Amino acid sequence: MTTPDETAVYLRTSEWYGPLNKDAFIHRSWMKRGHPDDTFHGRPIIGICNSASELTPCNQHLDDVADYVKRGIWQAGGVPMEFPVTSLGETQLRPTAMLLRNLMAMDVEESIRCNPIDGVVLLAGCDKTTPAMVMGAASVDLPTIVVSAGPMLTGRHEGRTLGSGTDLWQMDEQVKANETTWEELGELESVMTRSAGTCNTMGTASTMAAMVESMGIALPGNGAIPASDHRRRRLAQLSGRQIVDLVQKDVKLSQLVLRESLENAIVMLAALGGSTNAVVHLLAIAGRIGIELTLDDFDRLGSNVPLLANIKPAGEFLMEDFFEAGGVPAVLAELDDLLHRDAPTVTGGPISEYWRDNKTWNRAVIAPTKSPFAANAGIAVLRGNLAPNGAVIKPAAASEHLLVHTGPALVFDSIEDYKAQIDDPELDVTVESVLVLRGCGPRGYPGMPEVGNMALPGKLLQQGVKDMVRISDARMSGTAYGTVVLHVAPESAAGGPLALVKTGDIVTLDVPNRTLHMDVTKEELALRSATWKKPQPRSERGWSKLYADHVTQADTGADMDFLVGSSGSHVPRESH
């Protein structure tokens, strides 16, 4: 074990542990509990912000990861202090984990700020846990590094592979089309989730793990090393060493996450065919750091980027294949010309060092830029009289023939309304119809659930229909696919024009021209608007009321209006 250079940098924790007085006595005495006297004198105290929870299955193994982070911290002369925070299990939480993302971010922020720590390692994994942690940490701005949970191994069964979520959506369609039954699919429950880790598709968790790596706030390899591969432990251990170095050099999160870093993430998001949820999360993270990032930046920077990763839901393979093919660094290497090569990282070197000497081992999984899986990937931002402030679609996950489509709207006022009608054999719907779901935005649900990829009408599935245009103010799972227009802003509950569309109105989606239009005159819309009634709030107390009263719209990140920005790390008042 090394002893840190005590003159290297001012340590924030010296305010707690440094003085010879009553207050510092309390801080030291209550913490010592077997630690030698020099533990709280001159050594960086590193918080390990751990979102492990048995109710967050994708993060269950983070206690093991924390052990390896601690080893690295001790090796570098720091002192690890692990603490728990709110955790969000995407598949378990009702009515949606997104309702609690900002609550978790608030917990993370106050836990970091109010405790005696000099730097923090964020242990994140399942979808919302990564953005919530980075948002919270950004509003404090200590030296920070992220270690992700890592994806599960590939599910394998009777010669087929199973991708988290993506294959489930297909099974659901097969059952509805009477091709199989849930009884027959029973064994696949155990196969789909075969090992520790996050979804093995390029869903939101894998996307966000790749985003933090591309932004340089996690070590290279973070995005794709499987959870159960021992190289994940090595990465955790190295991250423990690195955070001590960051504290000693006083490199704060805001010095690493620059506009250039976010632009690199947007390019990477496109090349990976990553989750549309990353749009909302990156906007929220930018808001915490004070960087002006807009929805249009995603289209401007990402929509001409080639699709280089052949991973479900936009492709065929899974995260284990992606890791073996070279992972995030291999894709970054292909994007070299499109990236800010000098963007800073936790290593102290530029991001270009992440792909120095990197090779791609499987061209079926990671394509060269000159022969990509699709010429233009990324997120397309649509505007028009249905979405004045924007809506998003992932063309790589959509059907080519539906990217320009005109058809009559079939409107559902809520997810309950949709569920009650969608499988009715008498439902007046054809393959030309445009399914419109409203009341599912940040304020309306509340929480902006992942219901935008609504399953197709049962009777059309039975006829072999595979895709239709769907429009909503909701999000969709990063593991989902289809010609799905999401995040319509303003949402219907905020009085956006989505609230005014009626069944039978002719709607046109034109992705090449970036428009989303309903063929209804301004005068008619004004008439409908005059009689529109704001929906009753779904909750009159607690977090969901606070959330619905203060959440911003999807096009600005769906953060709480009072949480945007930073309060820094200084806490002037003592506790006694």
CB of 318 to ligand FES, least distance (A): 13
Q: Is 473 in the site for ligand FES (CB under 6 A)?
A: no
CB distance 253 to 359 below 8 Å: no
Q: What is the largest CA-CA distance in the chain?
A: 79
d(CA 392, CA 375): 19
Q: Is 211 in the site for ligand FES (CB under 6 A)?
A: no
Of 133-141, 196-204, 375-383, 527-535: span binding ligand FES (CB under 6 A): 196-204
CB distance 150 to 225 below 8 Å: yes
Site mask for ligand FES (CB under 6 A), range 534-563, x = bound: ------------------------------
End-to-end CA distance of the chain: 35
Q: Judge residue 36's burial from the number of C-beta atoms within 10 Å of its C-beta, 0-12 exposed, 13-18 middle, 19 or more buried.
A: exposed
Of 199-207, 237-245, 365-373, 381-389: span binding ligand FES (CB under 6 A): 199-207
517: phi > 0 → left, psi -120 to 50 → alpha, else beta; which? beta
Phi, psi (deg, nearest 5) at residue 141: 70, 50
CB of 93 to ligand FES, least distance (A): 10
Radius of gyration of the chain (CA): 24
Alpha helices in 115-193, H assignment, sequence order: 129-138, 166-176, 188-192
Q: Is 199 in the site for ligand FES (CB under 6 A)?
A: yes
Tokens of 207: 């996307």
Nearer to ligand FES, 166 or 472 (CB): 166
CB of 331 to ligand FES, least distance (A): 20
CB of 89 to ligand FES, least distance (A): 7
Nearer to ligand FES, 127 or 229 (CB): 127
Residue type, 187: E
Nearer to ligand FES, 199 or 333 (CB): 199
d(CA 467, CA 431): 8
CB distance 434 to 407 below 8 Å: yes
CB of 193 to ligand FES, least distance (A): 9
Three-class SS of 486-513: EEEECCHHHCCHHHCCCCCCEEEEECCC
**Residue 26, CB half-sphere, CA atoms under 13 Å: how many?**
8
Nearer to ligand FES, 222 or 566 (CB): 222
Of 22-30, 197-205, 254-262, 451-459: span binding ligand FES (CB under 6 A): 197-205
d(CA 374, CA 38): 58
Site mask for ligand FES (CB under 6 A), range 10-29, x = bound: --------------------
User: Which parts of 370-472 are beta strand (E)?
Assistant: 380-384, 387-393, 404-412, 434-437, 470-472
Other C-beta atoms lying within 10 Å of the C-beta of residue 364: 12
CB of 196 to ligand FES, least distance (A): 11
CB of 98 to ligand FES, least distance (A): 13
CB of 442 to ligand FES, least distance (A): 20
CB distance 494 to 458 below 8 Å: no
Residue reference for tokens 């390019």: 267
When binding is defined by CB under 6 A, the residue of 148, 166, 198, 264 that contacts ligand FES is 198
Q: Is 90 in the site for ligand FES (CB under 6 A)?
A: yes
Chain centroid to Cα 303, Å, comes to 19
Nearer to ligand FES, 51 or 553 (CB): 51
Q: Is 205 in the site for ligand FES (CB under 6 A)?
A: yes
Of 115-123, 195-203, 424-432, 487-495: span binding ligand FES (CB under 6 A): 195-203
Nearer to ligand FES, 144 or 200 (CB): 200
Buried b (16+ CB within 10 A) or exposed e, 540-565: eeeebebbbeebbbbbbbbbbeebbe
Q: Is 335 in the site for ligand FES (CB under 6 A)?
A: no
Q: Is 167 in the site for ligand FES (CB under 6 A)?
A: no
Residue type, 287: G
**Residue 515: C-alpha distances to residues 15, 38, 403, 438, 510 (Å):** 55, 64, 11, 19, 5
* Count, residues near ligand FES per rule CB under 6 A: 10
When binding is defined by CB under 6 A, the residue of 75, 91, 347, 569 that contacts ligand FES is 91
When binding is defined by CB under 6 A, the residue of 47, 78, 203, 395 that contacts ligand FES is 203
Of 198-206, 246-254, 311-319, 366-374: span binding ligand FES (CB under 6 A): 198-206
When binding is defined by CB under 6 A, the residue of 11, 45, 52, 58 that contacts ligand FES is 58
When binding is defined by CB under 6 A, the residue of 111, 130, 139, 164 that contacts ligand FES is 164
Site mask for ligand FES (CB under 6 A), range 112-141, x = bound: --------------xx--------------
d(CA 198, CA 318): 12
Q: Which residues bind ligand FES (CB under 6 A)?
A: 58, 90-91, 126-127, 164, 198-199, 203, 205
